[in-house]
Structure 1
Amino acid sequence: MRVLATTFGSRGDVEPIAGLAAALRALGAEAVVCAPPDREFADLLERLGVELVPMGDPVRPMVGGDRPPSAADAPKLAGRLVDAQFAAVLRAGEGCDVVVGTGLPPAGAALAAERLGVPYRFAAFVPGVLPSPLHRPLGRPGKPFPKGETDNRVLWDIDAENLRALYGPALNAHRAAMGLGPLDDVQGFVLSDRPLLATDPVLGPWPGAGPEVVQTGAWLAPDERPLPADLEAFLDAGDPPVYIGFGSMPWQSGKDAAAAAVAAVRDRGRRIVLSRGWADLAGDGDDCFTVGEANHRKLFARMAAVVHHGGAGTTHKAAVSGAPQVVVPQIADQPYWAGRVAALGIGAGHDGPVPTFESMSAALETALAPETAGRAAAVAAQFRTDGAARAARLLIEGAAA
């Protein structure tokens, strides 16, 4: 059994695929990953013994450069992604039994699987990329949603139109070269039949209407690394600190949010663990420890609260660790996760990407309350940690059927 998994995006798009690949290997299957050639992604996969097939350009320089991609760049970038993914999956997919695609819409992977004659499954890391009349789609570049529109079916039709405009030209150019007719339903082609939803059922539930979706639980990559000795010493030297980190968010809004968070945490007399992240954050003072790449699940379990941007991976890791959260959403699916954290009572979801000292202080008051800590511990006890293993078994059993 050989599975090819492909993704394009930030660390939050790559790490779950690494978790799936590790689970497949643990069950005796082969796994290969097509992903951007960023050094940190290669290091992650190498640590897990998973083969990386480089695909496209590195992501971090692209989003963190002097001119980050804009909505106007989206059609050109979508076409380049289709080309890169089609070529990489064709190159690495020979002899594979199934192709799993996720991250930015993997239209090129779906087409390569068709060319190879192997099954293709889409996997989502947030419910809002899968159509349902019970929730709105996440926004994407293209035609905007009409102001005040509440019929989710109308919004999903617009999402399908935008997917067709972004990915259809490159996708259909490859199809024409293969002697195939054009596709009109790019949305259905990319999302596949019976897509996998890799979110925890409590934290990110499927609403239960729409296509047949298989919710596996989150795909957590195994990580047995100890925390650095100097970080352990800092943690042992006082009460649990507050973690502040904005992950793969390299923009000024993340830096501004971190600055407001640092000031509000210090005002409460709490110490800080500050994650450097893609914004290259750095702290000062004896009450602040700046950390690079680390075992987040182990680290979050030592925190009084976790302040972050609301990426799916960070939200799930904080939840499984039992740490109260403050989510300051920046883009994409992050407002959804902020809303879920608030709805579950395991922390606060900030309204907007740039907090003030006052708004961050109010969010911290919620997160640091004893009842929030109790609720976070209760949700952690319900969290299923076998999502990657469950997905791996489903893929193996499906290929054998």
Structure 2
Amino acid sequence: MRFLMTTFGSRGDVEPIAGLAAALRAQGAEAVVCAPPDEEFARLLAGLGVELVPMGAPVRPQISGAKPPSTADAPRRAAGLVEAQYETVMAAGEGCDAVVGTGLPPVGARLAAERLGARFVFAGFVPGVLPSPDHRPLGRPGKPFPEGETDNLVLWEVDRENLQALYGPPLDARRAELGMEPVPDVRDYLLDHRPWLATDPGLGPWAEAPGYEIEHPGAWFVPDERPLPADLEAFLDAGGPPVYVGFGSMPFQSGRDAAAAAVAAIRDQGRRVVVSRGWADLAADGDDCFAVGEANHRRLFARAAAVVHHGGAGTTHKAALAGAPQVVVPQIADQPYWAGRVAALGLGAAHDGPNPTYESMTEALAVALAPETKARAAGFAAGMRTDGAERAARLLIEGGRR
């Protein structure tokens, strides 16, 4: 059996489908991933023996470049994304039993799957991409949410309008070229009433919503048995557990500003620091600070006193699985949701806003480094599901056999 997965976004969008692809291969299926041709994505997938079919332009220069994407440019980027998804999946998807679409709305991939006669599955990595009266939708370019509105169903209708306005025109234009009817509701077309949610049920729970049959297999982790680099091991062994600071794919300036405030507060508490370079290219400063590139985060986080990060779904799940207390400094998209979950579960602190100061980081670290927070984080980790990718792979294979 052959399955194609597609995404467009940062590492947090690519790594989960790499985990699913690895699980499919382990169960005897063929897996292909269509994703941006960033070097780190290619390296990740090659290490798992998974084929990467390049889709569009590399993402990192777009996010970390001198001119990051703007809201005003959203319609043009949406049209380009629909085109890139459709063309790439059509070329790579021949003979596929199913197409799994994730990341920025995979509308073009959905159309390609329809044309190929393959099953299509939309998978989200945060509950806020799936309509429910129990949570707000994530923000999207277009019409703003009504000020002070608290009815989530009203907000989801605004989200429906925005999704239609962004992706409806390029989708229908391509369908017209193919002699197909327009799509009256992009969201219903994309979700098909049977979407998947790839989150840990405790960390990112789902509440049932009328009209949708949600499959919730758990979070998708990449199998990673790599040892930590020898110089990092030496640093860890040379003193007490450090505090990890990393802001993933956050752009140059926001990542550096947040890291600087965090490192200053950590040092004043007598703690050492491990800094993840990330897309902001953070650097170490002093003997009590170590800068690391790619590393086995689950092993590293298990040796950290706390993990300070931006709140990406992948980092939040890995820190929780390692039993590490967290300080989440949310910047964009789904990150405020994960910050709120960490705080609500007592696994650490959610920073109020994206711009930490020395004072605000000191307060957040006091929460994260408290003994009771460490105890709750360890207890929560013991109950987390680690087989989400394997469960999702079985669902795909079994669905393809019916």
Answer whether TM exceeds 0.5 for this pair. yes
Equivalent in the alignment of 2:173: 173
Distance 2:120 2:320 in 1: 30
Equivalent in the alignment of 1:49: 49
Kindly indicate whether the alpha-carbon contact (under 8 Å) linking 1:303 and 1:323 is maintained by their aligned counterparts in 2.
Answer: yes
- What SS class does the counterpart of residue 342 from structure 1 fall into? helix
Kindly indicate whether the alpha-carbon contact (under 8 Å) linking 1:324 and 1:373 is maintained by their aligned counterparts in 2.
Answer: yes
Identical-pair percentage: 76
What per-residue deviation string (whole Å, max 9, x for no partner) do you get for residues 324-357 of structure 1? 0000000000000000000000000001001111
Distance 1:208 1:299 in 2: 35
Equivalent in the alignment of 1:305: 306
Distance 2:8 2:254 in 1: 23
- What SS class does the counterpart of residue 3 from structure 2 fall into? strand
What per-residue deviation string (whole Å, max 9, x for no partner) do you get for residues 20-69 of structure 1? 00000000011000000000000000000000000000000011111100
Distance 1:102 1:115 in 2: 19
Match of 2:393, as an amino acid? Answer: A
Kindly indicate whether the alpha-carbon contact (under 8 Å) linking 1:8 and 1:35 is maintained by their aligned counterparts in 2.
Answer: yes
Match of 1:184, as an amino acid? Answer: P
Kindly indicate whether the alpha-carbon contact (under 8 Å) linking 1:121 and 1:193 is maintained by their aligned counterparts in 2.
Answer: no
Distance 1:176 1:338 in 2: 43
Deviation, structure 1 residue 279: 0.3
Kindly indicate whether the alpha-carbon contact (under 8 Å) linking 2:252 and 2:281 is maintained by their aligned counterparts in 1.
Answer: no
Distance 1:352 1:146 in 2: 21
Match of 2:325, as an amino acid? Answer: P
Deviation, structure 1 residue 207: 1.7
Aligned pairs for 1:239-318 (under 5 A) are: 239-318=240-319
Match of 1:208, as an amino acid? Answer: E
Deviation, structure 1 residue 12: 0.1
Kindly indicate whether the alpha-carbon contact (under 8 Å) linking 2:266 and 2:273 is maintained by their aligned counterparts in 1.
Answer: yes
Aligned pairs for 1:370-381 (under 5 A) are: 370-381=371-382
Distance 2:98 2:400 in 1: 7
Distance 2:96 2:256 in 1: 43
Distance 1:10 1:184 in 2: 30
Aligned pairs for 1:311-330 (under 5 A) are: 311-330=312-331
Equivalent in the alignment of 2:26: 26
Gaps of 5+ in 1: none
- The farther-off stretch of 368-377 and 247-256 is 247-256
Gaps of 5+ in 2: none
- What SS class does the counterpart of residue 215 from structure 1 fall into? coil
Distance 2:159 2:209 in 1: 17
- The farther-off stretch of 244-253 and 314-323 is 244-253
Match of 2:115, as an amino acid? Answer: R
What per-residue deviation string (whole Å, max 9, x for no partner) do you get for residues 111-138 of structure 1? 0000101110000000000001111101
Distance 2:289 2:73 in 1: 39
Kindly indicate whether the alpha-carbon contact (under 8 Å) linking 1:254 and 1:330 is maintained by their aligned counterparts in 2.
Answer: no
Aligned pairs for 1:342-381 (under 5 A) are: 342-381=343-382
What per-residue deviation string (whole Å, max 9, x for no partner) do you get for residues 156-196 of structure 1? 11111101111111111110011111112001111223111
Deviation, structure 1 residue 251: 3.6
What per-residue deviation string (whole Å, max 9, x for no partner) do you get for residues 216-273 of structure 1? 1100001111110000000000000000000010242221110000000000000000
Distance 2:218 2:319 in 1: 15
- What SS class does the counterpart of residue 273 from structure 1 fall into? strand
Aligned pairs for 1:142-157 (under 5 A) are: 142-157=142-157
Match of 1:228, as an amino acid? Answer: P
Distance 2:192 2:330 in 1: 29
Distance 1:260 1:65 in 2: 23
Misfit runs of 4+, over 6 Å: none
Distance 1:181 1:49 in 2: 39
Aligned positions, number: 401
Distance 2:145 2:77 in 1: 22
What per-residue deviation string (whole Å, max 9, x for no partner) do you get for residues 276-321 of structure 1? 0000111210000000011111110110000000000000000001
Equivalent in the alignment of 1:11: 11
- What SS class does the counterpart of residue 220 from structure 1 fall into? coil
Kindly indicate whether the alpha-carbon contact (under 8 Å) linking 2:101 and 2:123 is maintained by their aligned counterparts in 1.
Answer: yes
Kindly indicate whether the alpha-carbon contact (under 8 Å) linking 1:2 and 1:97 is maintained by their aligned counterparts in 2.
Answer: yes
- The farther-off stretch of 147-156 and 21-30 is 147-156
Match of 1:213, as an amino acid? Answer: I
Aligned pairs for 1:61-140 (under 5 A) are: 61-140=61-140
Distance 1:85 1:209 in 2: 29
Aligned pairs for 1:178-257 (under 5 A) are: 178-210=178-210, 211-257=212-258
Deviation, structure 1 residue 150: 1.3
